[in-house]
Structure 1
Amino acid sequence: MLKDKQVNFILSGVFLTLCIPLIIGLVLFLWILDDFNFRDVMFFATGSVAILTFILHTINGERDKKFKQEQMEETKAFNEKNLYNKKCERSYLIISQFYKPEMVESLRAYRELKREVPNLIKNSNVEPFKEHLSKNPKDHSRLHLLLNSFENIAIQIKKEFIDEDIIKDAMHSMFYNIYITLHSYIKDAQSEKGHEKCWEDFVKLCRDWGEPN
């Protein structure tokens, strides 16, 4: 930026240094001739200076316009990079939450539920599973903590608050496996009045991602 201003100043100086003596010399030359009186010469000189000033301002205006445009582009690029860095930070922070004791315990409870409730994936009858959760409130709380956490992540991805690629790379398999396992349970919950949108963003995200490779 400073370099552009210096170049602009140098060009302006060169322009004035070359043109002003030329105008003065031309004015003196015309004044000496008998064909022009002093008033005509002054009109000519004034017009010449005005034209040269206009040209100089035009050159400076174009350079200022280019400078402002480049400055805006630099600011935009900086803001976009800063926004992306913040999205990445939030994404990695979310991933790190799943290493905390509460989430580790919820994932452990989910794995035990898969073993204790047979045919949970294939069987569309979720009553035995719901009965198990009603008798084991801790398992119910842990399972819902897991699903609610996934729903929150899906909403943040939809709002572009976090980076989808980072989350997908780290959690795709876990998301999809839990979605497939609890698909019938989620559908049953959504069938209840007032809960039609329960975990819908999590479901939509898993469908968009599809089966992991």
Structure 2
Amino acid sequence: MTALVLIFLLSSANNRECALKANFSLTTVITERKTTTNVVKGNIYVLEGPVVLFEVSSPVSQLMWIKQDTVDIYYPEEKKLFRIISRDTLPTRNTSVSHMFNLDFEHQLHAAGFKVTKSENKGDTLLLHWNNPEVRASTEIVTGSIGENFVLYRTSGRGWSLEVKLWDYRNIDGKRYPHLMRSKFKKGKLTRIEELRLKEVEVDVALPSYLADFKIPKDAEVKIVEW
């Protein structure tokens, strides 16, 4: 295991305060030559950093730490760790809603050099059109908000499209959180729809001690993937 992986995991695991804790279910429907449906359930924790930790209990035991450009997935029963490093901080290739949860879309657009080129109102939704003036033939991105609630991220490229929607915002201790998030990604004959639902949301709670004190075993098998 590399020192970088160890440092990240130890610092993440020892973060004991949760801005948000909830039960989650993630349903994925993939259609290409045939249709397959997978459902994953467990607990989600939003930590400082920001780091999002998914504790998966079904169908397999799994821990997944998500940062802006890094995902670490650990399988306790097999003692295997997969580290995925993404060069794409905006959700184009990295289209899983679990990776996009808690992502500040508009902040990421500003950081990537995108500028608002047009704004319009459709019903109660404010739509912003974004382009990067430094990139020739820049991909247009559309974001949408209703009041203070971010509800839409939409973009497309040659042969692919992505739309992310967020619903069911609720006030919890003065903060607003979406309880339903859905993405639809299409590329050629492939369509992938993911739906993330939250229940029993709590804020400003302690991370369970077995997670706060958790350490990856030194003899764990490690695989690093870049995309």
Q: Greater strand percent: which structure? A: 2
**Larger RCO of the pair (alpha carbons < 8 Å, separation 6+):** 2
- TM-score, normalized by the shorter chain, greater than 0.5: no
Q: Greater helix percent: which structure? A: 1
Question: Radius of gyration: which is bigger?
Answer: 1
The alignment's TM-score, normalised by the length of structure 1, stands at: 0.20
